[in-house]
Chain A
Amino acid sequence: MLSPKAKVVYFDNPATSFPKPEIVVDAIAQCMKEIGGNPGRSGHRMSMEAGEQIFFTREVLSDFFGVQNPMKVIFCSNATDALNLAIQGLAYQGGHAITSSMEHNSTIRPLYELEKQGKIRLSIIPCSSEGLLSCGHLENAITKQTSMVVINHSSNAFGTEQPIQKIGEICKNRGIAFIVDSAQSAGILPLNMAKDNISILAFSGHKGLYGPMGTGGLIIADDFNHKKIRPLKFGGTGSLSDKIEQPDFLPDCFESGTLNVPGVAGLRAGILFIKEKGLACIRKHKEDLVAYFLKKARAAVPGFLTYIPDSSIKTGIISFNIQGFLCSEIANALSEEYNIMSRQGLHCSPLAHKSMGTFPHGTVRFGFSIFNTKEECDLAIESLQEITQKKGKK
């Protein structure tokens, strides 16, 4: 029986990071206690201060992702929301879209829905056994009608990294919009929209950027005309209030309704936290934990199975199974008996699991954050050992 005081080990960081840095919690609390106004809606001091919270975060994000104009940062409620805006917003022109077999449902579902409605034609390019997209296969799939390529930078299920700079170059040379889903890579892998030739970047605020849930957004490249994207939401923006038409200028055209100001303030604090730690340091910490855990787990846990070469894991994610067990058995036992939080199943990525041969059963996923430690890895390995031993005795 688990003691209520047993230490919680949280390995579900690819779903949402926990804990959040103290400065994130403080920034949200300070915003809620002291800056209560609605940004852009009124002329009073508290409204302006709320507007400043939003603007400063736009500046931090545009700088972090290599964009000069802060107004090209659009706040959404999460990466799925942002991907829907980008994909559906571009698809009104019709055409042909290309994506990979390693995508999350946040990309596949809107694309599939558009194809079902007859608005676009969709090609899903199979990836290698290491989860990588071949640039040659991509080039072969491109037609004169191809209007967008949508690729996730890193797989949420396996932690692999796609060669986005090369993909971006191929798209740029052909005038194709390149949409990148950075939900699992932002705050871990280097990303620069100008250098990586990205037209539109969707990001999650509450995973590797350490902000609160309910934050995320879209960033449009300096050289990409935002008018190619049709808004999905229409309504009050605080601007052009005498007109019933939606404004066509950034960021208002895509930001109808009141923004999540405390969440956005917390997101800025999260990015400042990352900048202080340094991306390289965060990455190294995760790589060290992955190497440590895999080495010890393989030696200590009978039947421990992984699916990609260790060198292909780039974002601190370990997707595994234990022979003779369902992944749900492992994850439930970890949670209920050992207070270790993980995620089991298909991770909203059925195509990625099909690509890696783990469909339909899925895997147990551990995803490390900067706050995880080797001691927690040891605890997890001991727990996995006990779980397998208990079943052996039955």
Chain B
Amino acid sequence: MENPSVILFYSTNYAIWTKNVLQKLHIEHKMASVPRHLSSECGYCVMIQNQDKEKIIQILHQNGIEYDRIESLIGLS
């Protein structure tokens, strides 16, 4: 991904839920291990294109999917 951001969740259950919703809507995304500098979680997060962020926030709200926060990874890789 060129301009990646990651959605961090309290629980990996919500990461998988998000993955499935984004897959059905054909929105670019990727599952990844949680970057250690961002969180102490054991599991995974969902990587998205930064420009899709606002659209995806709306989708998360519409589906009742709880998440912790969205962090940009631009300039970190």
**Chain A residues close to B by CB (< 8 Å):** 39-44, 47-48, 51-52, 54-55, 58-59, 68-71, 237-242, 247, 249, 251-252
Contact = CB atoms under 8 A, between A and B. Distances in A.
Given A240-B10, A249-B11, A249-B66, A41 B16 contact: no
Interface in B15-47: 15-17, 19-20, 31-34, 40-44
Contacts of B10: 239-240, 247, 249, 252
Contacts of B3: none
A71 B14 CA distance: 8
B12 interface: yes
A69 B15 CA distance: 14
Interface in B22-77: 31-34, 40-44, 64, 66
Interface of B: 10-17, 19-20, 31-34, 40-44, 64, 66
Q: Is the interface of A mostly helix, strand, loop or mixed?
A: loop
Contact of B12 (A69, A70, A239): A239
Contact of B11 (A47, A242, A252): A252
Given A43-B34, A48-B31, A55-B20, A238 B14 contact: no
B64 A43 contact: no
Contact of B16 (A44, A52, A237): A52
Given A40-B43, A247-B10, 13 more contacts: A40-B42, A47-B44, A51-B15, A52-B20, A54-B16, A58-B13, A59-B20, A238-B12, A239-B41, A240-B40, A251-B11, A252-B10, A252-B13
A68 to B, nearest CB: 8
A41 B17 contact: no
Contacts of B14: 71
Contacts of B11: 40, 237-239, 247, 249, 251-252
A241 B16 contact: no
19 contacts: A43-B34, A48-B16, A48-B31, A51-B13, A51-B16, A52-B20, A55-B13, A71-B14, A71-B17, A237-B11, A238-B43, A239-B10, A239-B12, A240-B10, A240-B41, A241-B41, A247-B11, A252-B10, A252-B11
